[in-house]
C-alpha cells in the first residue's frame, strides 16, 4: 500500500503545484482580455497570446477570427506564419551544424556557395547571422525591379538575384543592416551541408526533438497547412481583403506554427533540450563589428532593455501575418503573440502585456513616443540646361531593369514598366526623393560634368548603380 500512497501523494502535489502556477496568471487575464476588445466584436481578424513563466505555459488564449469568410476562431492551435521569428530557428540550425563540426561560423560562404560573387573581402557565415554581410536586401531589390506585395518569389530566384549583384552595401563586418538575403543564404548552406531539404533537416533535428509537431516550412508556393489562418488587411474602401504569402524563400521566414509549439521552442532556451546549454549561450552572443563595437543583434535575437529590465526579443511579419516573442530573463517570463492582421503591432502588444504583469518590477516609467513629421526642404530645381541633363534611360544590370526619366514643366517624371509613372521631389543639387520602391536618388556625373548614371537607396538597398544608357 505504501508505494500506492506515495504515488497518490506525488500526483496530488503536482496537481496542486500546477493549480498554483495557473492561479498566478488569473488576476491578469481580464486585463489582457481588455486589450483585445475589438477582436472579440463581430468579424475581425484574430490573434493568440501566450505567457510562459518558469517554463510553464500559464496563458494560451485566442481572440478574433482565423478566417473571416467562415467565422472560424483564432485559437492557440491555429497555425500562422511567424515571419522573421524563423531567423532564430535558422541561426540555431547553424549553431548545431557548427557544434557537429560540419562547418565553422567563420567559414567564407563561398566554400558552400561558390556562385556568390567575390566582392573583394570574404563574407563569413557569422556575417550572415549578425546582418553584417553588406549584401543587399532581396525584397528591396525586387521592389526596384517592379515586384509587388503578393508576387511570387522563389528561393532559386532570390539566389539568382545574389549571383547578379555587382556591389555590396558596405564592406563585410563594418556595419549592421538587417538583411533577409543573408538568412536565405543560411538556409541554402544548411541544405548543401546536410544534403537534405531545409524543412526535412529542421524537422528531424529541431522540430521533432522539441515535439513541435504543428510546425511547417512554406517551401512550396501555395502549400496548405491544417488549421491555418488566412491573413488580412483593411482596404482603402474599408473592406477586409486577403493578403497572400506567395514567397517560398526559406531561412529568413516562411515558418508556420502554433502558440504551444512556439512555447516549446522558447523553452529550449531555458533547458537546452536540443543542443545543450552551450548552444543556447551561443545563441545569446551578440555580433561584433570590425571596429570592435558590439551589436544588439545576436543569433536571430535582439538584446535590449525595456523600462529598465533586460529583454531578448524578435518580431516577425509576412503578408498580413504578425508575430513577436519577448523574453525577460531576470523574471523568467516570456510573452508571445501571433496574429493574422497586417496592422497588428506585435511588439507593442507584448509590451502592453508586460506592463500589466511586471508593473511592480520595472525600474523606469512607460516609454512615450512622439510622432514628429517635419516638412522636407524641397530646395530649388536646377535651372535650364542642368535640369535637362537628367532625362534618359537608366539600366541596372543587378536586377535587369530600366527606368526612364523625362521633364514635364517643372517636374522630373520617372517611369518603369511595372511601377508605372511617378514624380521625383528635388532635395538639393543632384539629389531627389522618389516613391518607396525607389527611395532616394542621386544622379552622378562624369569628369566632364555630364550625368552618367544614378545611385538609389530604398532602405536596405544602398547606392545601387544604374547607368544612363540613352539621352532624351
Looking at residue 338, the DSSP 8-state letter turns out to be E
Digit-coded pLDDT (tens) for 115-128? 999 999 999 999 99
Contact 316, 83 (CB under 8 A): yes
What integer pLDDT is reported at residue 372 of this predicted model? 22
Q: What is the CA radius of gyration of the chain?
A: 25
Contact 416, 146 (CB under 8 A): yes
The grid cell for 392 is 534618359
Strands 302-306 and 65-67: unpaired
Inform me whether the pLDDT recorded for 4 exceeds 80.
no
- Residue that has been written with the C-alpha cell 549592421 in this structure: 176
Looking at residue 103, the DSSP 8-state letter turns out to be -
Among 299, 241, 261, which Cα is nearest to 99's?
A: 299
pLDDT band at residue 42 under the 50/70/90 scheme: confident
User: For a pLDDT cut of 90, what percent of the chain falls above it?
Assistant: 71
Inform me whether the pLDDT recorded for 18 exceeds 60.
no
Alpha-carbon distance of 92 to 95, in angstroms, equals 5
Which pTM value belongs to this model?
A: 0.85
The average pLDDT across 125-148 equals: 91
The average pLDDT across 33-58 equals: 92
Q: Is 49 helix (H, G, I), strand (E, B) or coil?
A: strand
* DSSP states of 146-182: T--TT--B-HHHHHHHHHT----SS-TTS-----HHH
What integer pLDDT is reported at residue 470 of this predicted model? 72
Alpha-carbon distance of 471 to 384, in angstroms, equals 16
Inform me whether the pLDDT recorded for 45 exceeds 80.
yes
Among 386, 415, 390, which Cα is nearest to 472's?
A: 390
Residue scoring higher pLDDT (357 or 21): 357
Inform me whether the pLDDT recorded for 239 exceeds 50.
yes
Alpha-carbon distance of 20 to 24, in angstroms, equals 6
Looking at residue 274, the DSSP 8-state letter turns out to be T
Digit-coded pLDDT (tens) for 200-237? 999 999 999 999 999 999 998 889 999 999 999 998 89
Amino acid at each position: 500500500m505504501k508505494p500506492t500512497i506515495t504515488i497518490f501523494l506525488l500526483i496530488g502535489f503536482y496537481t496542486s503545484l500546477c493549480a498554483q502556477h495557473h492561479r498566478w496568471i488569473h488576476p491578469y487575464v481580464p486585463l489582457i482580455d481588455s486589450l483585445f476588445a475589438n477582436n472579440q466584436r463581430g468579424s475581425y481578424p484574430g490573434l493568440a497570446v501566450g505567457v510562459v513563466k518558469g517554463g510553464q505555459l500559464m496563458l494560451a488564449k485566442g481572440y478574433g477570427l482565423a478566417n473571416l469568410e467562415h467565422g472560424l476562431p483564432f485559437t492557440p492551435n491555429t497555425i500562422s506564419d511567424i515571419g522573421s521569428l524563423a531567423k532564430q530557428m535558422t541561426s540555431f540550425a547553424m549553431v548545431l551544424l557548427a557544434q557537429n563540426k560540419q562547418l565553422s561560423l567563420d567559414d567564407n560562404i563561398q566554400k558552400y556557395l561558390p556562385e556568390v560573387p567575390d566582392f573583394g573581402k570574404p563574407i563569413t557565415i557569422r556575417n550572415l547571422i549578425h546582418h553584417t554581410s553588406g549584401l543587399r536586401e532581396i525584397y528591396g531589390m525586387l521592389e526596384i525591379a517592379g515586384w509587388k506585395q503578393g508576387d511570387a518569389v522563389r528561393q532559386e530566384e532570390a539566389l539568382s538575384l545574389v549571383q547578379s549583384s555587382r556591389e555590396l552595401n558596405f564592406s563585410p563586418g563594418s556595419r549592421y543592416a538587417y538583411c533577409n538575403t543573408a538568412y536565405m543564404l543560411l538556409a541554402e548552406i544548411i541544405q548543401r551541408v546536410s544534403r537534405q531539404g531545409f524543412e526535412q533537416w529542421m524537422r528531424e533535428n529541431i522540430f521533432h526533438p522539441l515535439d513541435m509537431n504543428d510546425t511547417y516550412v512554406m517551401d512550396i508556393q501555395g502549400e496548405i497547412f491544417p488549421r491555418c489562418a488566412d491573413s488580412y488587411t483593411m482596404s482603402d474602401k474599408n473592406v477586409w481583403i486577403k493578403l497572400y504569402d506567395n514567397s517560398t524563400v526559406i531561412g529568413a521566414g516562411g515558418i508556420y506554427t502554433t502558440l504551444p509549439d512556439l512555447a516549446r521552442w522558447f523553452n529550449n532556451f531555458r533547458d537546452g533540450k536540443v543542443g545543450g546549454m552551450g548552444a543556447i549561450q551561443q545563441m545569446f552572443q551578440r555580433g561584433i563589428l570590425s571596429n570592435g563595437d558590439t551589436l544588439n543583434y545576436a543569433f536571430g535575437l535582439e538584446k535590449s532593455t525595456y523600462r529598465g529590465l533586460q529583454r531578448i526579443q524578435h518580431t516577425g511579419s509576412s503578408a498580413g501575418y504578425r508575430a513577436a516573442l519577448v523574453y525577460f530573463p531576470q523574471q523568467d517570463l516570456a510573452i508571445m503573440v501571433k496574429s493574422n492582421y497586417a496592422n497588428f503591432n506585435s511588439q507593442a502588444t507584448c509590451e502592453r502585456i508586460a506592463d500589466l504583469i511586471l508593473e511592480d518590477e520595472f525600474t523606469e516609467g512607460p516609454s512615450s513616443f512622439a510622432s514628429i513629421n517635419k516638412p522636407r526642404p524641397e530646395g530649388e530645381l536646377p535651372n535650364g540646361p542642368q535640369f535637362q541633363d537628367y532625362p534618359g534611360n537608366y539600366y541596372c544590370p543587378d536586377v535587369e531593369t530600366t527606368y526612364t526619366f523625362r521633364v514635364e514643366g517643372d517636374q522630373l517624371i520617372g517611369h518603369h514598366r511595372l511601377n508605372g509613372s511617378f514624380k521625383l521631389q528635388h532635395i538639393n543639387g543632384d539629389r531627389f526623393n522618389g516613391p518607396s520602391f525607389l527611395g532616394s536618388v542621386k544622379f552622378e556625373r562624369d569628369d566632364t560634368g555630364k550625368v552618367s548614371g544614378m545611385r538609389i537607396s530604398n532602405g536596405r538597398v544602398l547606392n545601387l548603380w544604374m547607368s544612363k544608357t540613352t539621352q532624351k
